[in-house]
């Protein structure tokens, strides 16, 4: 059976340490770009942002960070993405950023269209809003790095930790119509990490008419693309799940629509 077009496996690191490179062209959409880099001690990652803003999320390790002509010093410190809220760097469009790893460092670069209206800044752990959503085996822990209440032009960035045996992005919801105030149109990527890393998870992406209906089994460090449709995620027994979400669309607001067939469970919660 051919692999799902929604499932992107990591590659061997290139000369820059890049293991993922999702672009609007490769994904077949308009807004979201996403990369992951494995940097060694002393390795430098530098990029011009062009017509896209960037949020650089330090998933593990420490690095010196600069953006928009400002040196922000050393950021990071997490041993891994499950440890707790981390540090991120916001770089506006029409500027540049640089990360110099102080040891082994995993870095994600999230991108979306922008005009460059905002200054560069660091987002420390204390500025990351934390909340727990759901009950029972629908409980998960959310870290809002760039929610729609924070300053950015297009990007929405969030981390979620789903305990083993729990479901997330559940009950199934979607955000694929530009129909505010009821629903917003947002493309989305999921970057998955598992603990322990030999595990797997399950994600389904489907539309009401089933013109899209893909169920994928993802491994540690896989990316799942959500161009449209509902997109629930399951973490099997024994394996905690972390994912980093990147969303963007024509309007920077997160409004979702639950699958009516499963919305009953919210009324009973």
Please confirm whether the linkage preceding 97 is cis (ω < 30° from 0): no
Residue extents of the structural domains in the chain: 7-268
Tokens of 70: 């400002």
Q: Are 217 and 211 in contact (CB under 8 A)?
A: no
Q: Do 166 and 180 touch, CB atoms closer than 8 A?
A: no
The C-alpha atoms of residue 56 and residue 46 are separated, in whole angstroms, by: 11
Q: Give the global pTM.
A: 0.97
41 is written with which tokens? 């001690």
> What is the rounded CA–CA span in Å between residue 211 and residue 227?
12
How does pLDDT run along the chain (269 residues), one tens digit per residue?
Answer: 568 999 999 999 999 999 999 999 999 999 999 999 999 999 999 999 999 999 999 999 999 999 999 999 999 999 999 999 999 999 999 999 999 999 999 999 999 999 999 999 999 999 999 999 999 999 999 999 999 999 999 999 999 999 999 999 999 999 999 999 999 999 999 999 999 999 999 999 999 999 999 999 999 999 999 999 999 999 999 999 999 999 999 999 999 999 999 999 988 65
CB 97 within 8 A of CB 54: yes
Residue among 241, 239, 227, 140 at smallest CA distance from 188 = 227
CATH assignment of 7-268, among 3.40.50.300, 2.40.110.10, 2.60.120.10, 3.90.1150.10: 2.60.120.10
């Amino acid at each position: 059976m051919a692999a799902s077009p929604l499932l992107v496996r990591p590659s061997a690191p290139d000369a820059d340490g890049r293991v993922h490179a999702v672009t609007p062209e490769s994904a077949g959409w308009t807004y979201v770009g996403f990369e992951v880099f494995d940097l060694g001690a002393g390795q430098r990652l530098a990029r011009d942002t062009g017509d896209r803003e960037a949020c650089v999320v330090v998933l593990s390790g420490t690095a010196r960070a600069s953006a928009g002509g400002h040196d922000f010093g050393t950021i990071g410190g997490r041993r891994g993405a499950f440890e707790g809220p981390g540090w991120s760097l916001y770089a506006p469009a029409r500027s540049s950023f640089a990360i110099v790893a102080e040891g082994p460092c995993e870095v994600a670069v999230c991108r979306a269209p922008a005009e460059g209206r905002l200054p560069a800044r660091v987002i420390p752990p204390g500025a990351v809003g934390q909340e727990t959503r759901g009950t029972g085996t629908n409980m998960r822990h959310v870290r809002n790095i760039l929610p729609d209440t924070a300053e950015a032009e297009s990007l929405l960035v969030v981390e979620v930790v789903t305990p083993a045996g729990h479901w997330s992005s559940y009950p199934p919801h979607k955000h694929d119509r530009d129909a505010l105030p009821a629903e917003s149109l947002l493309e989305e990527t999921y970057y998955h990490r598992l603990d322990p890393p030999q595990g797997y998870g399950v994600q389904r992406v489907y539309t009401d008419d089933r013109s899209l209906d893909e169920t994928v089994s993802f491994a540690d460090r896989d990316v799942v693309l959500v161009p449209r449709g509902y997109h629930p995620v399951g973490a099997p027994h024994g394996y905690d799940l972390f994912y980093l979400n990147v969303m963007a669309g024509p309007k920077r607001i997160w409004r979702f629509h639950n699958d009516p067939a499963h919305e009953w469970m919210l009324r009973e919660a």
